[in-house]
Amino acid sequence: MSASPKPVKVLPLPLSVELRLQQPGLDIQAQFRVLPGRVCAIVGRGGAGKSALLKAAAGLHPALGGRVALGNQAIYDSVARVNLPPHQRRLAWLDSQAHLFPHLSVQSNLEYGLARAPKPVHGPGFDAVTQWLDLRSLFKARPSRLTPAQRFKVALGRALLSAPRAILLDDPLGGVPEHDQPPLLDLLAQVPARSKLPVVLISPRMNEVIRMADDVIVLHEGRMTSGGIATQILSDVSLSTFLEGANAGSVIEGEVKRHDIEWLLSEVDVAGQRVTVPAALHAVGRKVRLKVRARDISLHRDLIEGSSASNQLRGRITQIMLAGENGSYGAVGIELDHLRDAGDFSIQPGVQIWALLTRKSIQQMDLAPGQPCVASFKAMSVAVSGWR
C-alpha cells in the first residue's frame, strides 16, 4: 500500500500584469508587478478602468492583448496564445458581493474553497482559517442569515482555503456598513503577511489604501499616470486631482513612542522628531501611518511659542510648485530633518511633507528651495492608521 503524497511546499511567486483592453468609451493599458507579501493598490477616479483591469487579470473580462504571469509561468499571453480560464488561474477574487452559494451552509461554502485547492499542494489549514476568522459558530447557517460583515469573513475564508497564488481585492468591504468596517480591515491587513502572496487592492476609501498598500499605481482614463512606493505616491500633491482633491496631503510612517493618558494623546516618532496625535489605539512600538492634509500645515522661519499647533517639525524646503503662472496657491515640499541626538539635526532623505500655501504667503515669506523652516500643525489634524 503506497503512502499518501506529502504536501508540496510551493514558494510564492510575483504577479506580473501587462494588459490592453477596452470597455465602452475607454481604452485601458497598464502594467504592474506585485511581489509576494506586498500589496499594490490601484487608485484613481471612478471610471478610470481599475475594476476592468483587475477583472481582465482574473480572466473575468476579455483582454485585447498582453500578458499575466506568476513568476515565469504565463496564465495569459496573447502572443503565446495562452488564456487559462478563471478557475485555472488560481487568483482569488474578492469583491463587495461575497458571491457565496445561497443553497450551501457556511461550512459547505468554506469546504468548496478547500476542495478547489490543488492536491497534494495544500494551503492554510481549515481549522486555522476558521478559527482566525471566528467562523465555527456560523457553520450551519445559510448566507441569507448572515450579516454583511459575516458574509465578508466567509468569502475571505473560502478564498484563502482555495490555496490561491495571488489575491485580487475589488472594493472587498464595499458591501459592509461603515461602522462594521474597521475590525474587518484589521483582518484584511493581516492577509499579506499570513499568506505571503501578492495582493492587488482597489478601494474608493483612501483609509484602506493607506492602511494596506506597499505600492500604488494611479490610473487615469485607462492609462497609468504614476506608480511607486505608497507613501511617496499618496503624498504627491501634484496627483491630488486623481486622488483626494482638497484632502490631498502627506502620508508618513512612524512608530508609537508613548501615550499620554491624562490628555488622551499619543506621541509618534517620525524621523527622530515627535508628532502628537489624538490618542491612538496602537501599542508602544507599533508602526503606524499618519495622514496630514497639506492645507492644514503652516510654515515658519523658526519655532513659535504660544500656538495651539502642538506639532512643530524642523525641515528644509525642497521644492515649490505653483498652480499656474497666476494661480492663487502653491504646494511647498519640505524634507524633514532627522534628529539623531538631543538638538542635533541632520537631513534624512525620503521623509517629506507638503504644505499648501497661498501664492501671496509664498512670495511675502520669500520661500525658496534649500531654506530651513518649521512645519506646524495641530494634533487634531492628524489621522492615524495602523500599518501592516
Both 138 and 216 in one domain: the answer is: yes
Both 283 and 163 in one domain: the answer is: no
- Provide the greatest CA pair distance for the chain: 88
Both 269 and 194 in one domain: the answer is: no
- Beta bridge partners, 373, equal 315
Q: Does the global pTM surpass 0.85?
A: yes
CATH at 365: 2.40.50.100
Per-residue model confidence (pLDDT) at position 239:
80
Both 207 and 299 in one domain: the answer is: no
The answer, yes or no, to whether residue 349 has pLDDT greater than 60, is no
275-286 mean pLDDT: 93
Per-residue model confidence (pLDDT) at position 365:
95
Per-residue model confidence (pLDDT) at position 238:
79
Q: Is residue 185 part of a domain?
A: yes
The answer, yes or no, to whether residue 111 has pLDDT greater than 70, is yes
Per-residue model confidence (pLDDT) at position 240:
73
Q: Is residue 290 part of a domain?
A: yes
The answer, yes or no, to whether residue 258 has pLDDT greater than 50, is yes
The answer, yes or no, to whether residue 34 has pLDDT greater than 60, is yes
Instruction: For residue range 39-49, list pLDDT tens digits in order.
Output: 999 999 889 99
- Round to whole Å and give the CA distance between 93 and 168: 5
Q: Is residue 37 part of a domain?
A: yes
The answer, yes or no, to whether residue 245 has pLDDT greater than 80, is no
Both 211 and 298 in one domain: the answer is: no
Both 120 and 39 in one domain: the answer is: yes
**SS in 3 state form for the chain?**
CCCCCCCCCCCCCCEEEEEEEEECCEEEEEEEEECCCCEEEEECCCCCCHHHHHHHHHCCCCCCEEEEEECCEEEEECCCCEECCHHHHCEEEEECCCCCCCCCCHHHHHHHHHHHCCCCCCCCCHHHHHHHCCCHHHCCCCHHHCCHHHHHHHHHHHHHHCCCCEEEEECCCCCCCHHHHHHHHHHHHHHHHHHCCCEEEECCCHHHHHHHCCEEEEEECCEEEEEEEHHHHHCCHHHCCCCCHHHCEEEEEEEEEEEECCCCEEEEEECCEEEEEECCCCCCCCEEEEEEEHHHCEEECCCCCCCCCCEEEEEEEEEEEECCCCCCEEEEEEEEEEEEECCEEEEEEEEEEEEEEEHHHHHHCCCCCCCEEEEEECHHHEEEEECC
- Round to whole Å and give the CA distance between 210 and 180: 18
Quick one: cell of 274? 515627535
At residue 137, φ and ψ (nearest 5 deg) are: -70, -10
Domain that holds residue 137: 15-234
The answer, yes or no, to whether residue 304 has pLDDT greater than 60, is yes
Per-residue model confidence (pLDDT) at position 347:
42
Q: Is residue 184 part of a domain?
A: yes
Both 223 and 258 in one domain: the answer is: no
Number of domains making up the chain: 2
Both 219 and 327 in one domain: the answer is: no
| Mean pLDDT score across all residues of the chain | 91
CATH at 206: 3.40.50.300
Instruction: For residue range 357-378, list pLDDT tens digits in order.
Output: 999 999 999 999 999 999 999 9
Per-residue model confidence (pLDDT) at position 176:
97
Per-residue model confidence (pLDDT) at position 9:
62
The answer, yes or no, to whether residue 234 has pLDDT greater than 50, is yes
Last residue of a domain, one of 181, 205, 234: 234
Quick one: cell of 273? 522628531
Instruction: For residue range 331-341, list pLDDT tens digits in order.
Output: 999 999 986 65
171-185 mean pLDDT: 97
